């Protein structure tokens, strides 16, 4: 990638699409090697992930000071709210036992090569369906 991408002062959804389209067009036109671009995108993604963890904490402190209506930063609307509510059932013995039974059942089914019947109960057990995600290109930085 010989040309640098510049990030505009005001950030918009349209700006995201324009930058993305420009990068895709360079690859599709053969001006850039797709693997080279992918490696550089992954690099930037790692930089962002690494910095965002620390910066997000600091930004959260700053955002908590905003008025209820929020504010605008670099063209983006910013609001602050507490994290979403989640439930942890691990303190319930019955829930924990059921979860363990599910794990055991999954392991049993994974081991099946074909449909079989339990001779004691007559239950027919089928192996699980196997699904594959999209292809993976692994990028490791030295």
Please give the chain's pLDDT, 142 residues, in tens: 456 778 888 889 998 999 999 999 999 999 999 999 999 999 999 999 999 989 998 988 888 888 888 888 888 888 888 888 999 999 999 999 999 999 999 999 999 999 999 888 989 999 999 999 887 777 777 6
| pTM for this prediction | 0.64
One DSSP character per residue, 62-123 reads: HHTTS-TT-EEETTEEE---PPPP----TT-HHHHHHHHHHHHHHHHHHT-SS-EE-TTT--
Q: What's the pLDDT at 88?
A: 96
- Please check whether residue 139 is in contact with residue 38, taking contact to mean a CB–CB distance below 8 angstroms: yes
Q: What's the pLDDT at 2?
A: 54
Q: What's the pLDDT at 131?
A: 93
Q: What's the pLDDT at 4?
A: 73
- Sort strands 124-125 and 71-73 into parallel, antiparallel or unpaired: unpaired
């Amino acid at each position: 990638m010989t040309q640098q991408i510049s990030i505009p002062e005001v950030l918009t959804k349209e700006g995201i699409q324009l930058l993305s389209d420009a990068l895709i067009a360079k690859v599709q036109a053969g001006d850039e090697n797709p693997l080279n671009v992918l490696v550089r995108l992954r690099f930037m993604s790692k930089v962002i992930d690494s910095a965002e963890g620390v910066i997000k904490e600091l930004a959260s402190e700053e955002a908590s000071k905003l008025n209820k209506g929020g504010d605008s930063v670099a063209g983006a609307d910013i609001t602050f709210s507490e994290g979403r509510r989640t439930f942890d059932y691990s303190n319930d013995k019955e829930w924990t036992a059921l979860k363990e039974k599910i794990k055991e059942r999954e392991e049993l089914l994974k081991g099946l090569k074909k449909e079989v019947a339990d001779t004691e109960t007559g239950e027919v057990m089928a192996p699980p369906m196997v699904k594959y995600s999209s292809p993976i290109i692994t990028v490791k930085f030295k």
